[in-house]
Structure 1
Amino acid sequence: MWHQLLERIKAGNFQAIARAISLVENEVDGHEAFLQSLPNGHTPVTGITGPPGAGKSTLTDALIGYWTTQGKKVAVLCVDPSSPFNMGALLGDRIRMSDWYNHPGVYIRSLATRGSLGGLHPYIIEITAILQAGGFDEIIIETVGVGQSEIEIAGLADTTVVVVVPEAGDEVQTMKAGLMEIADVFVVNKSDRPDADAFARNLRLMMAPAYQQDKTIEVIKTVASQKEGIEALVLAIAQHQQHISLTERKIWLLTERVYQLIAKNRMKPYDKKKIYQQLQEKAQTEQFNLFAFVHDFSNTGNA
């Protein structure tokens, strides 16, 4: 099954791509061997991040439109925040990008964070690898927009686009350290609003130290709803991706993922229901000590 699925993915079959993502998300038997068989993908990944309400989805919609007119195949991952209680999500990006769901050159997948920190999905690296095997020319990942905690996108994306609006002066100042670290391109969206020019100018001044470190961060003004400034943004992304390398931050992200996978494999022998049952009994006693319980359970499987 998995071999046939991979061949269909390589042929660009959207149904096969969707099925593979679902099987990996649900950890179906054989998914690890399937992931190990994936070819090393080279499709550039553009991350779209920034505070809520900045227009990330509208900007993504405009980028899809531009690239498809050039005959490119585009894959989009839209990550929405999950409820901390039932792990469900609104997945509202489906509404904003509804024009593309039947387009033969566009694949869109909405994902919930499922409680994952960093504004992404717990299987984002695996899902991106599947898309890179699917013959796409561009991959866009739009994050949930939770602010400075979205550092993870910088490790995954080849180019990280940070979207802000002219009114976000104080907010940008608050998030300055995190944004300066992850931004490869700044987009001042909704730049038809008052003070957009002054805001963009101040943003360039704030980034002066970054220029001294030989990292040129472009500031692009757009009105995504009117498709204004999109060509300049596409050019800035393309120029940045001419110098793609395996950066230190990407190595750190991969290190974290390797650590998580090893920890998950080591935890397989432990049954959470069994832990729960034993805690029900032990936690009510006066002698209960959480750390002693963990020590005993991890060594014997019983506390």
Structure 2
Amino acid sequence: MDKRRGLPAAQEAESGPAGRARLRFLRGGKTRTGLLILAFFALIAVIGPWIAPYDPDAMSDQLLQPPSADHWFGTTHTGQDVLSQILVGTRGVLLVGFIAGFLATVLSVLIGVSAGFLGGAADEILSMFSNVFLVIPGLPLIIIIASFVENTTDLVIASVIALTSWAWGSRVLRAQTLSLRRRDYVEAARATGESTWRIIIFEVMPNLTAVIASGFVGTVIFAILSEITLAFIGVADISHWNWGTVLFWAQSNQALAQGAWWWFVPAGLCIALLGTALALINFGIDEFVNPRLRTASGASRKVRMRVGFTPVARTGTPTQSGVPGTRSKEQSE
């Protein structure tokens, strides 16, 4: 028991350097900012259809009205409320992004880690499979598949995006697994008779967590931009609201030429903010994984803290010897 804090020894040890290391990822300003913005959009995605002031499809006689007390983001050429369209469309954007990111991450982990750890013929076959998908142009393939599918729901679009975006993450995980498969702790687990899949799950995978998280965030960014692009060019279902659909109707009705900036600026700002949030989280993961980035940021903070006035003792002062910054009589002679 720690008398000063009243904590048990085990709890005190857990709150020591090991506990602080686990929270290092959440201490960065970039990470906290990104998580806060992402949490805000996630909340809007959940409650957006409930708090929307109007039906996003409802038309009125207030045509192309600028932002006002009744319509905070203005109205469209048919009197539809832009704020309601943004709120309702947030769910589809995040749903496609996270489903595609999850499916692509699962595929990249299964194929990349298996290829890197098993080696031999399995590595050659799985690497060839990932190389084929790596050279396939993703967006054109998504456009072709979405054009032939009659009911292009969010799940269909997310699945197509995942199938065309897992290969790069698989190659990265294969390279990382190749560097881990001959480590001492892996060899020790193999020598004790542990099964191959148990070694992969409990010995190799924990050391790939940060890389997997970074790949997941990158895939989510790509999936969100792909979903918005498909809606903007009219390939996806334009009757289903998302931010790309708002931009599609604004571009189709020449909102920029008519000076209706409120029709497309809110959707563009939401895309930029969400992309910035995910990018900040990705930067935080990079700093957490890369010791050089952590050392550089920590050193810069220490330098800023140490900047100040440093007193310098005068030399040659007739004082007693042995005092720093002075010279004794023998040294002067």
Normalised-by-shorter TM-score class: under 0.3
TM-score where L is the length of structure 2: 0.22
TM-score where L is the length of structure 1: 0.24
Which protein has greater RCO, CA pairs closer than 8 Å, 6+ apart? 2
Relative to its length, the structure with more helix (as a share) is: 2
